Amino acid sequence: MGLFDGKKGLILGVANDRSIAWAIAEEIMKQGGECGFTHLPDKPEDDKKKNHRRVAKCLEGWEKQAKFLVPLNVQSDENIAEVMQRAKEEFGKIDFLLHSIAYADLRDLQRDTVETSREGFQLAMDISAYSLIAVCNAAKDIMSERSSILTMTYFGGEKCVPGYNVMGICKAALDASMRYMAYDLGPRGVRVNALSAGPLKTLAGSAAKVNEMLPLYAAMAPLGRNITHEEAGRVGAFLLSDMSDGITAEILHLDAGYNAMGSPGRLLDRIKEAQTKSDG
């Protein structure tokens, strides 16, 4: 018997097979859950339909659990409503919803935060933070009485992480939005949480220079290593399952303990050792 037997829900934000959203979705389907998927809209001139094709490739072999794949532009309330209507037609009520959506113009990500453009800031906040509010509002009437919503955040929304720049501000707004959604939807029996994963090699992580943090995390984290996609999948699925009943308005850190460190820890020993060798 699987943890998600009889459970149905939406997965928003899979980009490819290295997405954290896919790791979570795969674990849910392994545990018997049925999922509806969305992908980034393809541009009309893109004959290859790259965004659709990448997600469709992930779903190969999962035809029984993956019930549909449709485009989603979270800047369009009409499109969001269409996706929720599709979910209602397919499932009636849904038991879980994963929101794994973020975006900032690469030019803004690559410049100092103080130089972020007004247009870029508005765009990043709309897609990365407001979209959670929009999705929760559109989904609230089809969420079951014992359901869970999960969004993906990062430590750069809590502390300054140079290089993460404007996305850190967006994640701070997302974290606050998550707590207010948890309050508003609580009387309906809907829980809302955030998973703060450490750096993983993903398409989104590469754009925000998260991959460059991998050696630092491995050196500083109490476990002395980085996390894996499989761990992200299991923890994300846990937060979307009945096993996490009673947990809401929380940020769960999955980073091998990195967030708990107040000093470089064992990394300092390595620095001292390197200095000793250099002096010698």
CA distance 209 to 195: 19
What angle do the packed helices 20-30 and 229-240 form, to 10 degrees?
Answer: 60
Dihedral pair phi/psi, residue 34, rounded to 5°: -110, 140
Between CA 83 and CA 98 the distance in angstroms is: 13
E strand or H helix that includes residue 94: strand 94-99
Give the Å distances, CA to CA, from 212 to 117, 164, 205, 253. Answer: 24, 11, 9, 19
Active-site residue flag, 164: yes
- Spatial contact of 102 and 177, defined as CB atoms under 8 Å apart: no
206 Cβ neighbours under 8 A, 6+ residues apart: none
The catalytically annotated residue of 103, 130, 154, 183 is: 154
**Is residue 217 annotated as part of the catalytic site, yes or no?**
no
Strands 190-197 and 34-39 come out as unpaired
Q: Which of 103, 164, 217, 258 is catalytic?
A: 164
Residue 275: CB atoms within 10 A of its CB come to 10
- Closest to 131 measured CA to CA, from 164, 166, 102: 102
- Distance, CA of 59 to CA of 20 (rounded, Å): 15
Asked if 205 and 227 count as a contact pair (C-beta separation under 8 A), the reply is no
Supply the residues annotated as catalytic.
154, 164
